[in-house]
Amino acid sequence: MRIFSGIQPTGQLHIGNYLGATQNWTELQNNHDSFFMIADLHALTALQDPKEFSKTTLSKFIELLSVGLNPEKCAIFVQSHIKEHTELAWIFNTLTPLGELERMTQFKDKSAKNVKNINAGLLTYPVLQAADILLYKTQGVPVGKDQIQHIELARNIAKKFNSMYGKIFPEPEALLVKEGAKIMSLTEPARKMSKSDSPESSIGVFEEAGSIQKKIRSAVTDTGKEIKYDAKKKPGISNLLTIYSLFSDESLAQAEKRFKGKEYSVFKKSLVDLLIKKLAPLRKKKEELDSRELYVKEILHQGEERARSIAKATMEEVREKIGLLRL
């Protein structure tokens, strides 16, 4: 089964992204024909600093390798390196009803937040995403819940193209990660951990030990003393327990038992130790790769070549089906 997913280059990976997305990718790569893309063109729908942008993109690639994506098992590449993405997106634009784009939750949210920069790219964002997915004739798309609407659009576009021009695209399905992997903010546990919130609210995958300790120490807990999972009454402790359980591979029940009768501070101390122990090797890998730019670029090149050979072939078929003139 071919799978495909993408991630924007902006913002360092936090443990929420790691537990909720990239860790799942590292498992999937073992038994799927896997493609992972850094969505730099999608990131342009928000303002980017041209002096930093290429570095940001390369760092994201290094981050993905550091958390365990293995270039021998999957292709990792940068969206803007494969010109077929934007070409196919244009064609898909002509198949997509405007109303469907205007109804997208993410478009509405993003344009409400960015009143000063409601660009057309924000609206057509999911069309480019459909092109990303369909260009590789993808069957499964590992994503979080917030992307389901976008995958549905990709399915609609595939159906429409297939019925108008002849069947070439499979209808891709979202492969959702398990619900338990949703990590909340450390400061406002009612909200999802997000890279756009305050730095204290999230823990970076490559963060230093001292800073991890500080953040966990000041993470919001709840009234009472019990270390018990109860997402409604004890959202702070429940979130920390979830993090503990996912990093330790212990069930929530086992973790509760381990800390039964203990103080919050004791639990937090163990969580800090666990995080530091689990994240240190990733940090080390990243440091090593940061110093090997040539090698890193070389593997990025290989991913690009793999992606391009498929993208080119699909685009040839698309042009032929549509009836664009060939000489």
The answer to whether the beta carbons of residues 226 and 298 sit under 8 Å apart is no
Q: How far is CA 114 from CA 121, 127, 147, 321, in A?
A: 13, 20, 19, 39
Least Cβ distance, residue 4 to ligand TRP (angstroms): 6
User: Within 37-66, which residues bind ligand TRP (CB under 6 A)?
Assistant: 39, 42
> Given candidates 3, 5, 234, 296, which one binds ligand TRP under the rule CB under 6 A?
5
Q: Which is nearer to ligand TRP, 7 or 101 (CB)?
A: 7
Tell whether residue 192 is a contact of ligand TRP (CB under 6 A). Answer: no
> Given candidates 127, 143, 212, 271, which one binds ligand TRP under the rule CB under 6 A?
143
- Catalytic residue positions, numbered: 110, 192, 195
Tell whether residue 20 is a contact of ligand TRP (CB under 6 A). Answer: no
Least Cβ distance, residue 150 to ligand TRP (angstroms): 6
Least Cβ distance, residue 147 to ligand TRP (angstroms): 6
Least Cβ distance, residue 258 to ligand TRP (angstroms): 34
The answer to whether the beta carbons of residues 69 and 22 sit under 8 Å apart is yes
User: Within 101-130, which residues bind ligand TRP (CB under 6 A)?
Assistant: 129
Of 194, 50, 41, 198, give the one whose Cα is nearest residue 126.
Answer: 41
State how far the Cα of 111 lies from the Cα of 101, in Å rounded to an integer.
12
State how far the Cα of 14 lies from the Cα of 183, in Å rounded to an integer.
10
State how far the Cα of 131 lies from the Cα of 96, in Å rounded to an integer.
12
The answer to whether the beta carbons of residues 27 and 19 sit under 8 Å apart is no
Tell whether residue 133 is a contact of ligand TRP (CB under 6 A). Answer: yes
Q: Which is nearer to ligand TRP, 143 or 243 (CB)?
A: 143
State how far the Cα of 59 lies from the Cα of 81, in Å rounded to an integer.
16
Question: Which residue is at the shortest CB distance from ligand TRP?
Answer: 6
Q: Which residues lie near ligand TRP (CB under 6 A)?
A: 4-8, 39, 42, 129, 132-133, 141, 143, 147
